[in-house]
Amino acid sequence: MTYQSHYFTEVRNAQANAYAPYSNFKVGAYLRTKDGKTYYGANVENAAYPMSICAERSSLVAAIADGYRPGDFESITVTVDADEPSSPCGSCRQVMKELCDDDMPVYMTNHHGDMIASTVNELLPLGFSGKDLN
Amino acid sequence: MTYQSHYFTEVRNAQANAYAPYSNFKVGAYLRTKDGKTYYGANVENAAYPMSICAERSSLVAAIADGYRPGDFESITVTVDADEPSSPCGSCRQVMKELCDDDMPVYMTNHHGDMIASTVNELLPLGFSGKDLN
Amino acid sequence: MTYQSHYFTEVRNAQANAYAPYSNFKVGAYLRTKDGKTYYGANVENAAYPMSICAERSSLVAAIADGYRPGDFESITVTVDADEPSSPCGSCRQVMKELCDDDMPVYMTNHHGDMIASTVNELLPLGFSGKDLN
Amino acid sequence: MTYQSHYFTEVRNAQANAYAPYSNFKVGAYLRTKDGKTYYGANVENAAYPMSICAERSSLVAAIADGYRPGDFESITVTVDADEPSSPCGSCRQVMKELCDDDMPVYMTNHHGDMIASTVNELLPLGFSGKDLN
């Protein structure tokens, strides 16, 4: 449950696959499951901007489609090319809330190697969840 | 910048217009501008769930389409029929981050008249914004 | 049910309210209800691109939040600044499918005054709807 | 470029991984690349409905995050448990428009083994694309 230096290499590899012709803002995500499997995520933009999908969700959805279930995830690392590590957008935080443990680490990095660590719960305090629907 | 009791009546009126045939979870939003105008919001669901839109965004988008600009908003009040006041989802927090002041009050209520007060910044700490894109 | 020349003026007024700092691609929508009320829509972008909302949905959601119900709409007109009139994105077509009659006219225009007329059904053939969920 | 019977088995396997606790409507997608690789997709729902992601996009985003680029795809097959094969929602059609050839086959199936064949272009006529942004 601690940030490992090789996560940085992995997430940079993931970022290389971003498809971001509209923003030119490439984002990568590196998702690890509790049983040691890894998924890459990258943002996939669309000319109709609202149909773009972020890197974090890209990795989580790939893992679910591969058979993993909510609670199976150990950590997610995100990277961008910016002076400060960017945080996940609100939609990605909501998807983490649905699929990840509240205390799952979220590691935000950038191309300088800076890193900020947080958790799902810290990033989405008072988070909306399935319990609210009942 | 303080919660007024009539906000509760207004947001319940907004909620009555929700179109929620799939979740049966009706949400209302009541947005006030700094110059005293008000906008109702309600969730508008879709058989293709991802194309649903939440009440909070509904009110904010109506105000922008009517000519208001980021920073013009005084407060937003949300209501649901649930034992606890529900908080905005991550996407709505992100839209608030774009369009509202960081310290704008967000009032979460329910049909019992309970109320929790927060702010945009508290609900989306380390929020992603246009500054991150540069 | 026929395109009126003043729709063009109205939709250009709506477009003026677009908030599109990321794409600089302003879109306007002009929605008419069967009982003669009108709603303006404009695209409202977000630094997190997927949380952007299009002009067409902006107008439809405002009308629903104001109390109109599916089937209450007479026509929608869209405009852009482009050599050819742009068509609605897939998400907006899906929202029209949910909220509008299948044969409701969709008028696509541009700043030159060009106009293409279509319908919801023509723009989303074999459209997914609530019937598919049962 | 023709529907193969084993696609049906593959897409049913993909569907089994759907996470659909809110709609109970499980959707599977089976994406093939031109160089013979395959990706599974499944819908991944969220308590906040708009943050749900469909099966078709799930498979396409996984492929892009894995390094494939627009135009690299041979076909997509979708399945649902319904009397009629369901078609992709508007958002998924828009993502196909961005990432797939206009004439790429889209095979819609159901649990009875019924199949309807279409193409990206037929499902999103007059489709909005990056060309419209210029």
pLDDT by residue for chain D (134 residues), tens only, comes to 589 999 999 999 999 999 999 999 999 999 999 999 999 999 999 999 999 999 999 999 999 999 999 999 999 999 999 999 999 999 999 999 999 999 999 999 999 999 999 999 999 999 999 988 87
Q: Which residues of D are annotated as a binding site for substrate?
A: 43-49
**pLDDT tens, residue by residue, C3-14:** 998 999 999 999
> How confident is the model at residue A28, as a pLDDT?
98
For residue D15, the Cα-to-chain-centroid distance in whole angstroms is 11
Question: Do residue C82 and residue D118 have CB atoms under 8 angstroms apart?
Answer: no
> How confident is the model at residue B134, as a pLDDT?
76
Distance CA D75, CA C23 (A): 31
**Whole-number average pLDDT of chain A:** 96
Query: Is there a contact between D109 and D115 (Cβ–Cβ < 8 Å)?
Result: yes
Distance CA C73, CA C97 (A): 12
The residues spanned by each domain of chain B are: 5-124
For residue D62, the Cα-to-chain-centroid distance in whole angstroms is 12
> How confident is the model at residue D1, as a pLDDT?
55
N- to C-terminal Cα separation, chain D: 32
- State yes or no: is B56 an active-site residue: yes
Where do runs of H (alpha helix) occur along B74-129? 90-99, 120-123
Distance CA D122, CA C94 (A): 15
- Which pLDDT band holds residue B2 (cuts at 50, 70, 90)? confident
- In the numeric block, the tokens 């996009």 are attached to D57
How many alpha carbons fall within 13 Å on the CB side of residue C40?
A: 22
φ/ψ bin of B59: left (φ > 0), alpha (ψ from -120 to 50), beta (otherwise): alpha
> How confident is the model at residue B85, as a pLDDT?
95
Residue B72 carries which side chain, given as an amino acid letter?
D
pLDDT of residue B1 exceeding 70, the answer is no
User: Is A19 flagged in the annotation as binding?
Assistant: no
Where do runs of H (alpha helix) occur along chain A? 5-15, 55-65, 90-99, 120-123, 130-133
> How confident is the model at residue B69, as a pLDDT?
98
The three-state secondary structure class of D42 is strand
Q: Which residues contact A69 (CB under 8 A, 6 or more apart)?
A: D19
Distance CA D102, CA D106 (A): 10
Q: Which residues pair with D77 in a beta bridge?
A: D30, D107
In C, which residues are within 8 Å of B21 by CB distance?
Answer: 130
Q: Which chain D residues have any C-beta within 8 angstroms of a chain C C-beta?
A: 23, 25, 80, 82, 84, 86-95, 97, 108, 116, 118, 122-128, 132-134
User: Residue A62 burial by CB count (10 A; 0-12/13-18/19+): exposed, middle or buried?
Assistant: buried
CATH topology of domain A5-124: Cytidine Deaminase; domain 2 (3.40.140)
Distance CA C83, CA A44 (A): 27
Query: Is there a contact between C59 and C80 (Cβ–Cβ < 8 Å)?
Result: no
The predicted model gives C107-127 an average pLDDT of 97
- Which pLDDT band holds residue B110 (cuts at 50, 70, 90)? very high
Question: Do residue C132 and residue D82 have CB atoms under 8 angstroms apart?
Answer: yes
Q: Which of A93, A115, A116 would you mutate first to test chain B, the one with the most B CBs within 10 A? A: A93
**ipTM of the complex model:** 0.97
Phi, psi of C14 (to 5 degrees): -60, -45
Q: Which residues contact D44 (CB under 8 A, 6 or more apart)?
A: A60, A61, A64, A65, A95, A99, D18, D19, D52, D53, D58
Report the 10 Å Cβ neighbour count for D131. Answer: 12
Higher pLDDT, D133 or A58: A58
For B3-44, the three-class secondary structure string (H helix, E strand, C coil) is CCHHHHHHHHHHHCCCECCCCCCCEEEEEEECCCCEEEEECE
**pLDDT tens, residue by residue, C76-101:** 999 999 999 999 999 999 999 999 99
Distance CA C104, CA B109 (A): 38
**pLDDT tens, residue by residue, A81-126:** 999 999 999 999 999 999 999 999 999 999 999 999 999 999 999 9
Query: Is there a contact between A94 and D52 (Cβ–Cβ < 8 Å)?
Result: no
Residue B14 carries which side chain, given as an amino acid letter?
A
Distance CA D44, CA D66 (A): 19
The two tokens of residue C83 are: 């050599």
Distance CA B21, CA A40 (A): 36
User: Is A44 flagged in the annotation as binding?
Assistant: yes
> How confident is the model at residue C129, as a pLDDT?
94
Question: Do residue A90 and residue B90 have CB atoms under 8 angstroms apart?
Answer: yes
Q: Which residues of B are annotated as a binding site for substrate?
A: 43-49
Q: What chains are in contact with B, requiring at least 3 Cβ pairs below 8 Å?
A: A, C, D
Question: Do residue B50 and residue D54 have CB atoms under 8 angstroms apart?
Answer: yes
The three-state secondary structure class of A58 is helix
pLDDT of residue C52 exceeding 80, the answer is yes
